[in-house]
Amino acid sequence: MSTQDTSRPTPPIQVTIVPVTPFQQNCSLVWCTRTMRGAFIDAGGDIDQLLAAAEQHGVQIEKLLVTHGHLDHCGVTAELAEKLGVPIEGPHEDDLFWIEGLEHQAKSYGFPPARSFVPDRWLHDNDTVTVGEQTFQVRHCPGHTPGHVIFYHEGVKLAFVGDVLFQGSIGRTDFPKGNLEDLVNAITTRLWPLGDDVHFVPGHGPMSTFGQERRSNPFVSDSALRQRA
């Protein structure tokens, strides 16, 4: 009697989401399953919790990736990079003023002290970043902040979109240098073309797909955009 092996191949990347800070920001621990080398995307706080997650999964952190310069997304990035001896990549340099103001942001919101930093690499539209042997595409998506970027892995159809898009909502645009038209344009021209089947990890709240948001998001669904036109 023969048996058929129905085991699934190991995906090239794995992800675990670690909510951090009182804002419950989705910090993502993402790693290459072949090399077990990984990165934190948006290390906003709670360093001990992040390091425990990496240890639990046996991941060696090789870099920190940042979508944008808001406190809950990069508040402990400088401290963590120094502690681990790893580089910082992202966001786009138009968010420099946000990063330079991290100390003020922390005081304003009653957060623990935060240090500003200069990324080892600013990112631009159509750049790529690597994690282990895996490659992520970079899309510059301004609007929530002017220097916001997202990270997209084509092989597994997964995007990390920070505060650009949420399940049922979009990022705020009432911050300094925010712009609603820029945000809607970024979503429709730089996210939607990636495909309806793309799952995304937002900066806050549950995951969704681009297709679901095109159908039902009250701000950027296809029907909502037709009404705005």
Give the model confidence (pLDDT) of 26-70 as tens digits: 999 999 999 999 999 999 999 999 999 999 999 999 999 999 999
CB 97 within 8 A of CB 73: no
pLDDT reported for residue 179:
98
Indicate whether 132 belongs to any domain: yes
Report residue 17's pLDDT band, with 50, 70 and 90 as the boundaries.
very high
CA distance 55 to 38: 11
The predicted model gives 81-92 an average pLDDT of: 98
Indicate whether 88 belongs to any domain: yes
CATH number for the domain including 35?
A: 3.60.15.10
DSSP 94: G
Residues β-bridged to residue 192: none
Indicate whether 180 belongs to any domain: yes
The predicted model gives 202-218 an average pLDDT of: 98
Indicate whether 4 belongs to any domain: no
Report residue 7's pLDDT band, with 50, 70 and 90 as the boundaries.
low
CA distance 174 to 209: 25
Number of structural domains the chain divides into: 1
Is residue 123 predicted with pLDDT exceeding 90?
A: yes
Indicate whether 3 belongs to any domain: no
Give the pTM. 0.95
| Structure tokens given for 15 | 């992800």
Indicate whether 185 belongs to any domain: yes
For residue 169, give Cα distances in angstroms to 55, 78, 166, 202. 34, 30, 5, 10
Indicate whether 124 belongs to any domain: yes
Range of 38's domain?
A: 13-228
Indicate whether 19 belongs to any domain: yes
